[in-house]
Amino acid sequence: MTNEELNMELYKKMLAEQKRYKQRLMSQPPKEILNHTYEYTVREDILTTLEIHDLSYEQAEALLRSESPLADVFKEFKRRETNYISVVLDSMEACADAEIQKERERLEKARSTSIYPYPLGYALENGEMDQYRESQNLSIACKAAIEQAINDNYAYNRLNTAAAVQQVADMFGYNRMLYVLAITVQHKARDGRISDSSKRWATSVPVYEDKDDRGIDNNIQLVVGKVNPGLVDLFVQEALEVRAREREQQRPEPAKAASAEKPSILVRIKKPVQKNAPNISANKTEPEL
C-alpha cells in the first residue's frame, strides 16, 4: 500500500468516526448539542487538514491502529491549545481597531468636506448635484448632532456648553456647525428666546434661499428644532466664543499682519437672498464662519 493509499484509509476511518459522532450528537437535547459544537467544528477541521496534507507512512499507519484516531487527535489538539484565548483576543482587538479606523476616516471626511452653500437650482444647472447632496446630508447630520449634544450635556437645569460644542466640533468642525446654527437662528428670527447678539451674527452669514420646484425650503432640514431655543442660543454663544479664541491664537505676528491680511471670504461671497439661482462667480470657496 502506498503512502497516499494509507492516508486515504486513515481519512475514511476518521470520516466514518465523525459520522457516528454526529449521529450521537444529533440525538441529544439542543443544550447538549451546543456544548459540543466546538469539538464538532475542530474535528471537521482535522478531517479537512488530512484531506489536504498527507502524513508520513509511519504516522498514518500508527493512527490507523487506533480505534478512534479522530478523537485521539482532538484530545492532543486540546492539550496543545494554549494560545487559543490570545488568538480570540487578538481577533477581537483587530476587529475593533478596524472599526475605530473606519470611524476616524468617516469623521475626517465629515470635517474636511467643504460646505456647498449654493441652492438646489444652481447645483442642477451646473452639474454639481453630488456636491450639493453630500454637503446637505452632512449638514442634516450636523443638525441632529447638535440636538443630541444639547440633550447629552443638559442636566439639573444647566447646559454644559463647552462639552456640547466640542462634541459636535469634533465630528463636523466649526465651519459646518456654525453654518447650521446660522440657518437655525435666521429661521427663528422672531423667537424671543434667541438673543439679539446671536441674531445679529446670524444675519451676517450669507445663506441662499434654497427652494425646490414645489416651493419647499430645503434649508428647513438644517434647522435645530428638537431642543429649547434658549439652549440653542447658549450653544451658539459658546461656539462663537470658542471660534473667536481660536482665531485670536492663530492671529499672525504684528510684523506679518499687513501681508497676511486679506478680505474675508464671507465678504467676497456674500450675496442678497434671491428666489432664483444666484449669479455666482467661478471662484467658489467654502464660507469660513
pLDDT digits (tens, 9 = 90+) for 112-154: 999 999 999 999 999 999 999 999 999 999 999 999 999 999 9
Domain shared by 23 and 150, yes or no: no
Is residue 1 scored above 50 in pLDDT? yes
Would 91 be classed as within a structural domain? no
pLDDT score at 268: 43
Domain that holds residue 26: 3-81
Residue with cell 454526529: 22
DSSP 217: B
C-alpha cell read off for 264:
474675508
How many CA within 13 A on the CB side of residue 91?
6
Residue 145 lies inside a defined structural domain of this protein: yes
Residues 75 and 128 in one domain: no
Number of domains in the chain: 2
Whether residues 71 and 123 share a domain: the answer is no
- Convert the pLDDT of each residue in 175-184 to its tens digit: 999 999 999 9
- pLDDT band at residue 82 using 50, 70 and 90 as cut-offs: low
Same domain, 177 and 244: yes
DSSP character at residue 159: E
Same domain, 122 and 209: yes
User: What's residue 62's pLDDT?
Assistant: 92
Give backbone dihedrals phi and psi of 159, rounded to 5 degrees, phi first.
Answer: -105, 125
**Residue 289, in any domain of the structure:** no
* Entry pTM: 0.65
Say which residue the cell 448635484 belongs to. 129
Helix/strand/coil for 163: helix
Confidence at 269, pLDDT banded by 50, 70, 90: very low
Final residue of a structural domain among 81, 102, 135: 81
Q: How confident is the model at residue 272 (pLDDT cuts 50, 70, 90)?
A: very low
Percentage of the chain exceeding pLDDT 90: 75
* Cα angle 282, 285, 288; round to 5: 155
Instruction: Assess whether 72 and 199 both reside in one domain.
Output: no
- Rounded to an integer, the average pLDDT of 192-209 is 96
Residue 216 domain flag: yes
Per-residue pLDDT tens over the stretch 86-113: 777 788 889 899 998 999 999 999 999 9
255 and 120: one domain?
yes
pLDDT of residue 212: 85
- Give the contacts of 167 (CB within 8 A, at least 6 positions apart): 145, 149, 152, 153
* Residue 279 pLDDT > 80: no
- Among 28, 61, 81, the domain boundary falls at 81
User: Are residue 173 and residue 228 in the same domain, yes or no?
Assistant: yes
pLDDT value at residue 32: 94
Exposed e or buried b per residue across 132-168, where buried means at least 16 C-beta atoms within 10 angstroms of its C-beta: beebbebbeebbebbbbbbeebbeeeebbbeebbbbb
Cβ–Cβ under 8 Å, residues 279 and 217:
no
Looking at the fold, whether 151 and 10 belong to one and the same domain comes out as no
The CA angle 130-223-234, to the nearest 5 degrees, is 130
Distance in angstroms (rounded) separating the CA atoms of residues 69 and 60: 10
147/264 same-domain check: yes
- Examine the domain organization and report whether 122 and 202 are in the same domain: yes
User: Any idea what DSSP says for residue 67?
Assistant: S
Evaluate whether residue 253 is within a structural domain.
yes
- Report if residue 168 sits inside a domain: yes
Nearest to 135 by CA among 122, 149, 152: 122
